[in-house]
Amino acid sequence: METTLIILKPDTVQRQLCGRIISRFEEKGLQIVGLKMAHLKRELVEEHYAPHKGKPFYDGLIRYMTSNPVVILGLRGRNAIEVCRKLMGATFGYNAEPGTIRGDFGISKSMNLVHGSDSVESAARELGLFFQGYEVFDWTPQGLDWLYDATEELGR
């Protein structure tokens, strides 16, 4: 089971799409293990997006991510990172396939609704930036056996 970080960006919050987008993750079978709303500080956003420093879009991205509140999620599930990235769709809304979050709700190149970790290593780093250890919960949903073949996939 993987745990990944998802950020519902300022445009999602402003457009009041949080519930609809969170529902997509839950309906797929991903488990919410962390959830909070925050108005991000510049220093945190700069650390989060440090790999993009120096790129032409970096300054605008920092302004955008600190402009309004965001919703931060920790999601857990089998192959959670890959599953979330497929649900989100291509980075730019105008390129994203219908049926994906960005394909259904986005058209912008710069405001793309949602961030998701792109690797196990990134997820661990990002979860550590946005959540204290006690803010990510370890719990088992009662319906878990109905999502996975418990004997094969969960080792039960």
Cross-strand partners of 2: 77
Sheet containing 31-38, strands listed edge to edge, beginning at the edge strand earlier in sequence = 31-38, 70-77, 2-8, 114-116
Catalytic pick among 39, 48, 52, 115: 115
CA dihedral 118→131→143→25, nearest 10 degrees, is -40
User: Crossing angle of helices 80-88/18-28, nearest 10°?
Assistant: 130
Angle ∠(7,136,121) on CA atoms, nearest 5: 65
The answer to whether residue 115 is catalytic is yes
> What are 94's two structure tokens?
């105008």
Angle ∠(29,8,93) on CA atoms, nearest 5: 95
Residues with a known catalytic role: 115
